[in-house]
Structures are given as C-alpha cells and as structure tokens.
Structure 1
Amino acid sequence: MALSLGQKAGWGLADMGIVVFVVVKQLLVLTYLTAFLGVPVGIAGFVTTAVLVFDMITDPLVGYFSDKTQSRFGRRAPWMFLGVLVMSAGMVGLFSVPAGMAMGANLAWVIAFFGLATIGFTMVAIPYGAQSGEITQDPKERSAMTGWRMGFASVGILIGGAVIPGLAESMGYAKAALAVTPLMVGAVWLSLWATRKAPRIETPATINLGGMFALVFSNRAFVVLVLLYGVMTLAIAMITAGLPFAALYLIVDSGDTALSGAASALSVLSLMFAAFVVGSILSQAGWVLLSNGIGKLGALIIGLLLYVLLLGALYTALPSVNVTAIAGMFVLAGMTNGAYQQIPWAIYPDLMDVTRRDSGIAIEGAFSAIWLFGQKLANALAPAVLGLTLAAAGWLETTTGTVAQSEGALASLQMSITLIPAAILFVAVLGLAFVYRPLAARVLA
C-alpha cells in the first residue's frame, strides 16, 4: 500500500526534534565546557567523547528490545514517545550547571545529564530509523520520505545551530534549551500520530540477541556502508565541532558587507548556520530527483566530490572579515551536505530488505542500531580529535568567550574544519566507488 503524502511528511517531521539535540551536542557542548566552564580543551574533548562512546553501548540493546516489543501501538512508538521526554530533560539539565562548583563537580554534572540525554536520544533514534524499513519497501518511496525527513532536519539544524546559540547569548544556555523542548517533543509526538495508520510489523522478533546481530553482520554490503557513513560523519562532525571556534576567531564581521546587520543581530555563528540550512533545504528535492535519475549511489558520490571542492575553496577564503561572502559559501556547503544528509538514509533500508527477504526475519531495530553505530562513533571521536589537534597547537581555554590565540593554533583550526574533513570525505568516495559498489550490485540487482 502506497503511503500518503501526509504519512511521508509526518514520518519526516520527527527528525526535526531529533536533530535539534544532535546539533546541540555536536556544536555547543565542547564550547560550553571550554569557553564558559573553564575546562581545558583536551579534557573537554575527552569527556565529550567518553559520553558518546557510552551512548553507543545502549544502541544494540534498544534495537534488540524494540524488535521484541509488543504493544497496541506497534514495536517502535512506545520507545519514541518516552525517549523524547528523556532526551529533552537531559539536554536542559546538561546546561544547568549550578554556579560556584569546582571543575570536577562541573564535569560530573555535565557527564551525568549528557549521558541521560544520549540514552533518550537512542530511545528515539533507533526505533525511528527502523520505521523506514517497516512502513514501505519501495526504494523510490524511501527517497521521497528521506527528502521530507532531511527537509525537516534542516529546520532542526537551523534551530539547534542558529536559534539556540542566539538564545543562549541572551538568556543563558539552560533557558535556551528549555525554550526549544516543546518543539522537540511536539515533533516526535506529531510524527507518531501522523504515521499511526501506516503499515507496520506487529509481530515481535523471536530470535535471540546473538542471532539477531549475526544476521545483520552477514549483510556485507550493509556493514561496509555503515563504516563508510561513519567516515563521512567524522568529516562533518569535525566541521560542526570546530565551527563555534571559527565563528569566534576566523570569521570576523567587518561591519560593512550586505549581511553585517544580520551577523550583528544573530551572531556570526547563527548566520552561518542559517545560510547552511537554506542551502540544505534548497537541495533536498534536487538530490531526490538525481537519485531517481542516476541511482542513489551515483548521486551520493557526486555530492561528496562537490563537498570536497567546496571545503578546499573555504580553506582559501579563511580567515575572513566578509561575512556575506562566507555566508554564500555556507549556502553552497549546505547544498552539498544535502547529499550526505539524505542519500545514505535512503540506501540502508534497501539493504534491510535483503536480509528480510533471505531470512524471513524482520529485525529493523537491530539494523538501525548498527547503522547509527558508525555515525555515533564518528561523532564521539570528532571532539576528541579536534580537541587534541588544537591542544597540540597550543590552543588556550577561557571562561570569557575569547582569548588571544597563536597563529599556529588558528592555522590548526583552519585546517581542522576544511582540508582535513575534505581528505576524509575523499576517502569515503573511494570506498563507495571501489568497495561498496560491487557488493551492493550483487545483492540489490
């Protein structure tokens, strides 16, 4: 049965709420620790990574238990309904560190609430990813669903990357996080309501944990795609983690360009994210059309190669006092990033179908857990890699927002958000073309 437009769009809506937290944890936690709590950047990067590694441990368990859940609302909805509440509460608590505590107590507070928020995130994200393999088996329909998803995700990126930093400057991090929690909860709950009549698998899986994941790992094309998506995500996460520092030190508004007023009103960071989101939204329909025209894999490779070229151009443009020119480049970056955002998420459910077809067992939750593993590992590594890279170059922490940095430290930051991610993305392109393509051709033909 074909999905209605409302069901496709409704399914995509949930990602708006999910992505707000994803962007906040990638963009603001490291900066919050180093620029406002006075934690040395190397320690802050390690702490952020440690929490995200812990988060990965919960993925297989949530995937397993969601596959085995039986309720009148299906296997996925109960997890998502409760998980978004846990995620939101943890995010608010994360930025509510009481004043006057020692650094060790500050770290313990952040770790506890960050861990709670990531557990909630897993409770939402794993079942949500599993739904893409349950509610349709039509590859083109999945591309359309993912287009809607990434369109709403772009709005979430705008809120997490542009609105929350601006609110944080005016009202504080905790109040800013609290202000967006109704949107996060509402997006997930409205999505569940919109898809309540969509096709779903009611019968819980009976296979045990070991057998479930043995089936997943026997799908070699899927495993390779997971690894390559993790490589892509490492590049993007390094850019995201470094962007707040770039907005403070590498993109300085001269006050005399077309968007100087916007930069002054929103902050440079918020303006760059707004430009990025505009590009992403504009590109979504184009990536769907290109995927349907030349195939998802070909469209993804083209998008990543364009991303590599854009990052090279951005390296030559930084540091800059022309916020208008840099914002224009961020629009283009958002358009190329649209391929990374959308296409892998439309590919991996097709590989779920292969295992269900060959085994007769529906374990979409297990697939979703492993799919997110590569992404989460990359997101966990990126702050540590960036923190160690900047620390090696002599980066200085502060409690006042900015401090004079050495030329070497600034050069290290410049490479960390441009040339290094570009090289990582190019490695992913080679893997897609020469490792993944022949494996996928055999099972998806």
Structure 2
Amino acid sequence: MTTALPRRRLLGYGVGSVGTGVFSAVPGLLLLYYLTDVLGVSAAVAGAVLVVPKAWDVLLNPIVGAASDREAVRTGRRTRLLLLGAGTLPFLFAAMFAVPADSPGLAAAWAGVAFLLAASAFACFQVPYVALPAEISADPSERGRAMAWRVVCLTLGILVAGGVAPALTDAAGGGRAGYALMGGVIGLVMGTAMVASTLANRWIASRPGPRPLGLAAALRTARGNRPFFMLLGAYVSHTLAVAIMLAGAPYVAAYRLDDYGLTSAMFVCMVGPSAFAVPLWRRLARRYGLVGCYVAALVLFCAATVALFPLITSPVGVLLLSALIGVCYAAVQLLPLSLLPETVHADTGRTGHAQSGAFTGLWTAAETGALALGPGIFALILAASSFSSSDFETPVVQPDSALTGMSAGFTFAPAALLLLSVPLLLAYRRLAALHRRPEEAQEHAV
C-alpha cells in the first residue's frame, strides 16, 4: 500500500506553480499593452515581439525535456535544470519591463531579446517541473492530490499576475516607472517560489530509464502515444483561448469599461473563485469521470465567454461572468494536468521507457506556443480593426471598428477555440481506451 504524501511535500511541489503561473500570465496580460500603449510600438510589431521568442521556446522545450531525462538517468534527480531556470528567470523578467530606449524600434528589440532569454530560462524550470508528478508517487490518487495542490498554487500565481501586477503598475504612476517597479517586485516573488520548490523537491527520485535517450530517440518513443497527442490538442486549443483573453483584458478594461484599473478586478473575480472550485471539480471528477467533467467545463466556459459580448461595456456584467469563467478555468487546468501523468504512465508498457521529460517537453512546448500565439492573434485583430497605438503621455481615441474588434477578439475568438477542444477530448477518450491493455479497454467499454 502506498503511503500518503504529507502536506509539506505536496506544498513543496505545488508552490513552484506560483512562479510558473506568474510567468505564464503576466507577459500575455501586460506586455502587449506595455508595448503599444506605453512605448508606442505598433500592434503588428508588438505582436511579433511576443510570438517570436515563444516560437523559439517551442523548439527549445523538447530539447530541455530530453536533457532532463538524461540528467535523471545519470543522477536520479532533475534539480540542476530546475535551479538554472529558477535562478536566472527573475532578472530576465525584470529586464522585459525596464526598457531604457525611447525609440519604439529599439524598445521593441530590447523587450523581444529580454523576453526570448526569459522564456528560455522558464523552459529550464517548467519542463522538468511538469515531469515531476509522474514520479512523485506510484499511486494515481496521490498524483491527483499533487496536481490539485499545483493548480491551487497556480491560481495564486495567476492572482499575483492579474491582480497585483496591474495594481503595482498603477500605484507607481503607470508609464515606464510603474512597469519597471512591477517587473522587479513580481520577478522577486516568482523567483522565490521557484527556488523554494526546487529545494523542496530534491527528495523525488527520477528514474526514467532504462537508458538515456537523445532528442530524436525520445521523440520517436513518444510518437506512438496517440491519446497523448489528442489530449495535448485539446489543451492547446483552450490554452490559446485563455491567452487571447489575457491579452485582451487590459484593452477591454481601458477602452470598453473606461477604467484600466478594472484589469485587476477582472482577474480577481476570475481567479478567486477558481481556487475554491478545485476541490469541487475533484469531487465531481471522482463521481463522473475526468473526461466528462472536462467536456462540461469547456462547454460552460464557451457559453460564459459568448455571453460577455453584449455585456462588454457593463462592469458588473463583466465581473460576474469573469467569476463564472474562473470556476471553469479551474477545471481546464486541473483535469488535463491530472490526465497527463496517467497518459504517460500508460505508455510505459508499450515502449519500455518512462520518459516523462520527453512528453512534458512536447507538452510545455505546445503550451508555450499557445500562450505566445494568443497575444499575437489579438494583436492581429487589433491591427485588422484599425487600432491606433500611442504612448502613455498622448493617448488616442479609438475608432468604432477597433472597439468592435477588441470586443469580438475577447469573446467570440476564444469561444470558437474552446469548442474546438471538445471533439479532440472525445477522441482522446476513445483512443485512451484502445491504448490500455485489452482487458482494461474491454472494462472501459462496458
């Protein structure tokens, strides 16, 4: 019988997600707005600044995953890569929001290079960190407990990103000084959480074996796991939807609700309920199944997003629907991350390898790409709808086409992507049954 993991170890793992939640959310939430409305960078160029560094990360993450597995085979731990990422990311994050140049072109170049380096440091932490749940316990229920703690801590990180970061910027007067202060403070919080988690997780033994694989061999090993790729497709689709909404939130607050400060309120209303919804979704999943609850959450999330469009100028309506979205957001974080370790474990019998780093390298690469592409898509929507960029001292009045574009981009575009996740998830359920041992597949069908 497997011993239950003590809470201190669950917290030690989960606290790392405070840092990952911050970095996943803040650039998507604030960097595009910082470039277009503080530094005067055009929407198209600003979108490229956000997409290009993350495109590099899509290539880097599988390499980091294979390197993490090789380190684990040699040393039995994934600590060195975790420490490398946790130790360097805070400084690079602060540099993203401390642009010294006055020229929009130079400002875009500085922010782009800093973001590329920060994204690379994040990959060094994120990829081995996501691999740990598959190794934290041999008991699926204990792995599920670890994921619940992770999602709660992830929620706290997103609260810091969406609630504290814009408030810090406003408190320092906005503009360059406000964003520079925010970058330094939030970077410190993020780094503290990630270093603490790295040190707390040294007890986890990583034995991917039986031998270290190079990148090409690791990808060949992962390629036959069709359920994994269906689950990944569903996760990427709704992550892209969330990324678009993250990028659009400051614009909706500033131009549709006429109060940039409501950016923080929108995120508090969304993320606050999601923390309390995690145990609710765990209970529902035990009763009705992970996939069934996942599909229900996606459909409800989509309905709430569409309902935002006619209420986009009503602060009360936007905040109430943000709270409902937060309940759904808890599910679309908890449930796929609970399915991921089990999908990796189920593949071990087929390949003879438990290369969790290879799978998480692919997973985080796709997630990173989606988080980067979201602001890029929203920037394209702004550009297509004739949005006018400005600097902080000389704001401009936006045309009606831009207001309509940002409203539709914040609601209808994410809703379509949320719906796209549903057939992919149903395909995952069918393939996962076939992927199990024959007797398990027969039991699942019954």
Alpha-carbon shift at residue 437 of structure 1 (Å): 1.7
Tell me which amino acid in the other structure corresponds to 2:37.
A
Distance across 2 between alignment mates of 1:107 and 1:99: 9
Contact kept? 1:304, 1:426, Cα under 8 Å: yes
Secondary structure of the residue that 2:388 maps to in structure 1? coil
Distance across 1 between alignment mates of 2:272 and 2:298: 18
Secondary structure of the residue that 1:221 maps to in structure 2? helix
1:294 is the counterpart of 2:264? no
Compared with structure 1, are the counterparts of its residues 365 and 70 closer, same or farther at alpha carbon in structure 2 (3 Å cutoff)? closer
Residue from 270, 273, 292 that aligns with 1:276: 270
Tell me which amino acid in the other structure corresponds to 2:402.
A
Residue from 432, 435, 445 that aligns with 1:440: 432
Which residue is equivalent to 1:250?
256
Which residue is equivalent to 1:346?
338
Matches within 5 A, 1:58-207: 58-69=60-71, 74-100=76-102, 102-171=103-172, 172-201=178-207, 205-207=211-213
Distance across 1 between alignment mates of 2:210 and 2:435: 26
Matches within 5 A, 1:372-383: 372-383=364-375
Which residue is equivalent to 1:259?
none
Distance across 2 between alignment mates of 1:357 and 1:137: 15
Alpha-carbon shift at residue 72 of structure 1 (Å): 9.3
Tell me which amino acid in the other structure corresponds to 1:38.
G
Residue from 413, 420, 423 that aligns with 1:427: 420
Alpha-carbon shift at residue 71 of structure 1 (Å): 9.1
Q: Deviations over 1:45-66 (max 9, x none)?
A: 1221111101111101111111
Compared with structure 1, are the counterparts of its residues 105 and 361 closer, same or farther at alpha carbon in structure 2 (3 Å cutoff)? same
Percent of aligned pairs sharing the same letter:
31
Residue from 292, 296, 299 that aligns with 1:305: 299
Compared with structure 1, are the counterparts of its residues 96 and 204 closer, same or farther at alpha carbon in structure 2 (3 Å cutoff)? farther
Alpha-carbon shift at residue 151 of structure 1 (Å): 0.7
Residue from 32, 40, 43 that aligns with 1:41: 43
Distance across 2 between alignment mates of 1:201 and 1:60: 18
Which residue is equivalent to 2:6?
4
Alpha-carbon shift at residue 278 of structure 1 (Å): 0.9
Alpha-carbon shift at residue 202 of structure 1 (Å): 7.7
Contact kept? 2:43, 2:383, Cα under 8 Å: yes
Secondary structure of the residue that 1:417 maps to in structure 2? helix
Secondary structure of the residue that 2:272 maps to in structure 1? helix
Distance across 2 between alignment mates of 1:139 and 1:414: 42
Distance across 1 between alignment mates of 2:26 and 2:211: 34
1:385 is the counterpart of 2:387? no
Residue from 391, 396, 410 that aligns with 1:417: 410
Distance across 1 between alignment mates of 2:330 and 2:53: 28
Distance across 2 between alignment mates of 1:128 and 1:21: 14
Contact kept? 1:162, 1:269, Cα under 8 Å: yes
Structure 1, 66-75 or 40-49: larger mean CA deviation: 66-75
Contact kept? 2:218, 2:355, Cα under 8 Å: yes
Alpha-carbon shift at residue 247 of structure 1 (Å): 0.8
Alpha-carbon shift at residue 206 of structure 1 (Å): 2.0
Which residue is equivalent to 1:258?
none
Distance across 2 between alignment mates of 1:348 and 1:86: 28
1:222 is the counterpart of 2:216? no
Secondary structure of the residue that 2:15 maps to in structure 1? helix
Compared with structure 1, are the counterparts of its residues 37 and 154 closer, same or farther at alpha carbon in structure 2 (3 Å cutoff)? same
Residue from 228, 234, 241 that aligns with 2:240: 234
Unaligned regions of 5+ residues in structure 2, if any? 173-177, 441-446
Alpha-carbon shift at residue 199 of structure 1 (Å): 4.3
Distance across 2 between alignment mates of 1:240 and 1:432: 23
Q: Deviations over 1:169-223 (max 9, x none)?
A: 2331122121123321221222233333344328684223211111111101101
Tell me which amino acid in the other structure corresponds to 1:207.
L
1:18 is the counterpart of 2:20? yes
